[in-house]
Chains A and B, each alone.
Chain A
Amino acid sequence: MPVHPDPATIRDLLQAGYRYAWTLTQDRDAAEDLLHDACLSLARGSRPWSRGLLFRAIKHRCIDAHRRRERTVAEARFDAAGLAEYAEDSSEDGVLARLIQTDEVEHALSRLSDTEREVVYLAWCENYTAREIARAVSRPRNTVLSVLHRARQKLRVWLQTSDQSRRAGS
């Protein structure tokens, strides 16, 4: 890849970088700021842009920010009951049903530990191998595999529970 890739590739990298930054911060504004800083730092350097390099730059900035202050946790939390009631009153059931499910996933992800969430994102959304994730999170490969297994079990249980609650309330 050239040092400065074409705009389409950069846009693709920015979206991936944003999702990764969101995974680390769970806060839209903080994720955008991390991404912005990381991109400017890469642009000033001479190394070819790559997803791994961008992710590393984002993570380092996230750790730096963590040192300075407690990480901002998103205040808005999913209120399944309230949203479900709203869904009943609306004619746009399909859109709202998807919104509810989106918030259920977001809520479930927020209950994972930072490492579990990062491993899940890299494995499932970026298709990293266990070895690549191990390098990214500075953990042994076997630890990564067990973290992923544990996170998968937790998510499955939580999503099942919220599905059942929603059906019981409908």
Chain B
Amino acid sequence: MNTTAYDTRARVRGFYARQSLRPEKMVEIMSDLSAVETPPHHRRFGGWRQAGLLAAALALMGFVGWAWLSADSLDRVVAREIALNHVKGLKPDYPANGFGDLSGMTDKLGFTPFAPDALAGQGFELVGARYCSVQDCMAVQLRLTDRDNRAWTLYQVRPNAELAELESTEVAVDGVRVRLWKESGLVMGLAHNQ
């Protein structure tokens, strides 16, 4: 008997149908949810609650107005996220001597990390890589060193519609200089300490 496409699908569905959350874990989660959802003071102070909600709404409007006025542009938001990750200096999960060593990351990323043309001939050496995200898009964080053995961090991310709007720019954030540009359909971000 051949395993037809239909059989394959039916067997996978059957397998998943047999996987279920353990009853004791279900009880634990439901119990935690009800504790979060029914704070006792909500029931005792009905009138005050409405007044509180109104005050909260006014405060929220104020906050939204303030946030709108002080909102960062997208490039600055992205640069800040990249700078923060650069400063953390997390150890690469995947040590590498060259980009060829990172082909195993392709499946998860949807692209293969590569040496950007924009950095050609600048003497950078690849140390390793780790998965990360930029604005909720799956990205790769590449640790580089320059000729003076200083640490640089290069990000490569396949942009969503929002990130695709990024223009090439260079931004300084809290002592970190971040350069953003697009190359081969990816957004690149290069960070180093000033």
B33 at the interface (CB under 8 A from A): yes
B15 at the interface (CB under 8 A from A): yes
**Does B5 lie within 8 Å of A152, measured CB to CB?**
yes
Name the contact of A43 in the complex, choosing from B11, B16, B33, B110 (C-beta under 8 A): B33
CB contact list, B1-37 vs A, under 8 A: 1-5, 7-9, 11-16, 18-22, 25-26, 28-30, 32-33, 36-37
B183 at the interface (CB under 8 A from A): no
Shortest beta-carbon distance from A168 to chain B in Å = 14
B117 at the interface (CB under 8 A from A): no
Q: Are A125 and B13 also in contact (CB < 8 A) when A4-B37, A32-B21, A40-B36 are?
A: yes
**Does B12 lie within 8 Å of A114, measured CB to CB?**
no
Q: How far apart are the CA atoms of A113 and B133 in the complex, in Å?
A: 19
Chain A residues contacting B30 (CB-CB under 8 Å) are: 7, 10-11, 14
**Does B20 lie within 8 Å of A15, measured CB to CB?**
yes
**Does B107 lie within 8 Å of A113, measured CB to CB?**
yes
Interface residues on B, range: 35 or more
A35 at the interface (CB under 8 A from B): yes
B169 at the interface (CB under 8 A from A): no
Q: Are A156 and B28 also in contact (CB < 8 A) when A39-B33, A67-B132, A113-B107 are?
A: no
Chain B residues contacting A35 (CB-CB under 8 Å) are: 21, 29
Chain B residues contacting A14 (CB-CB under 8 Å) are: 21, 26, 29-30
A66 at the interface (CB under 8 A from B): yes
- A51-95: contact bitstring with B at CB < 8 Å (1 yes, 0 no)? 000000000100100110010000000000000000000000000
**Does A106 lie within 8 Å of B29, measured CB to CB?**
no
Name the contact of A102 in the complex, choosing from B15, B29, B130, B158 (C-beta under 8 A): B15
CB contact list, A103-120 vs B, under 8 A: 105-106, 109, 113-115, 120
Q: Which 4 A-B pairs have the closest CB atoms?
A: A105-B15, A18-B21, A43-B36, A160-B3
Which residues of A come within 8 Å of B, CB atoms? 4, 7, 10-11, 14-15, 18-19, 22, 28, 32, 35-36, 39-40, 43-44, 60, 63, 66-67, 70, 101-102, 105-106, 109, 113-115, 120-121, 124-125, 138-139, 143, 152, 155-156, 159-160, 163
Between A and B, 19 residue pairs with Cβ closer than 8 Å are A4-B33, A10-B30, A10-B33, A14-B30, A15-B20, A19-B19, A28-B22, A35-B21, A35-B29, A39-B29, A43-B33, A43-B36, A67-B90, A115-B108, A138-B158, A152-B8, A156-B3, A159-B8, A163-B1
Given contacts A14-B26, A102-B18, A156-B8, 12 further A-B contacts (CB under 8 A): A11-B30, A14-B21, A18-B20, A28-B22, A32-B21, A40-B36, A43-B32, A66-B131, A70-B93, A106-B15, A138-B138, A155-B12
Which residues of B come within 8 Å of A, CB atoms? 1-5, 7-9, 11-16, 18-22, 25-26, 28-30, 32-33, 36-37, 90, 93, 107-108, 110, 130-133, 136-138, 158, 160
